[in-house]
């Protein structure tokens, strides 16, 4: 492969990298404090519906074996 082909391949790659970085540098960002409080709010709002977090009674969990009952 001639050096001209090689360097044109690298140039194309370098151009792509620059274009990609320009795009990434230009996006809108929010502060970590705001992002964190939003994440916390989501967790808080959904916590009560999270079976693994809250624990649900064995009778309602299909994976927990129910104790057999006998009707007397």
Partner 1 sequence: MACQGLQKGETLASLKTESDGLKKKLEVERGKLNDVELHQVAEKTEVLGALSIKTRRVLKGHGAKVLCMDWCKDKRRLVSSSQVRTSTDLWTREHGVSLPCTWVMACAYAPSGCAVACGGLDNKCSVIPLSLDKDENLAAKKKSVAMHTNYVSGCTFTNSDMQMLTSSGDGTCALWDVESGQLLQSFHGHTADVLSLDLAPSETGNTFVSGGCDRKANVWDMRSGQNIQSFESHESDINCVKYYPSGDAFASASDDATCRFYDLRADREVAVYQKDSIVFGASTVDFSLSGRLLFAGYNDYTINAWDVLKGNRVSILFGHENRVSRVKLSPDGTAICSASWDNTLRIWA
Q: How far apart are CA 58 and CA 16, in angstroms?
A: 56
| Cα angle 47-50-52, degrees, rounded to a multiple of 5 | 125
Of 54 and 72, which has the nearer Cβ to partner 1? 54
| Residue 66 touches partner 1, criterion: CB under 8 A | no
Distances (CA, A) of 54 to 47, 48, 51, 57: 7, 7, 5, 10
Is residue 8 at the binding interface for partner 1, with CB under 8 A as the rule? Answer: yes
Q: Does 56 bind partner 1 (CB under 8 A)?
A: yes
Which residues are at the interface with partner 1 (CB under 8 A)?
A: 2, 4-5, 7-8, 10-12, 14-15, 17-18, 20-25, 27, 29-40, 42-47, 49-53, 55-56, 61-65
């Amino acid at each position: 492969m001639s050096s001209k082909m090689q360097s044109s391949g690298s140039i194309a790659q370098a151009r792509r990298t620059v274009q990609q970085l320009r795009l990434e540098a230009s996006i809108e960002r929010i502060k970590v404090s705001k992002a964190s409080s939003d994440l916390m709010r989501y967790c808080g709002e959904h916590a009560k519906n999270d079976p693994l977090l809250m624990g649900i009674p064995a009778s309602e969990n299909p994976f927990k074996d129910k104790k057999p009952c006998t009707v007397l």
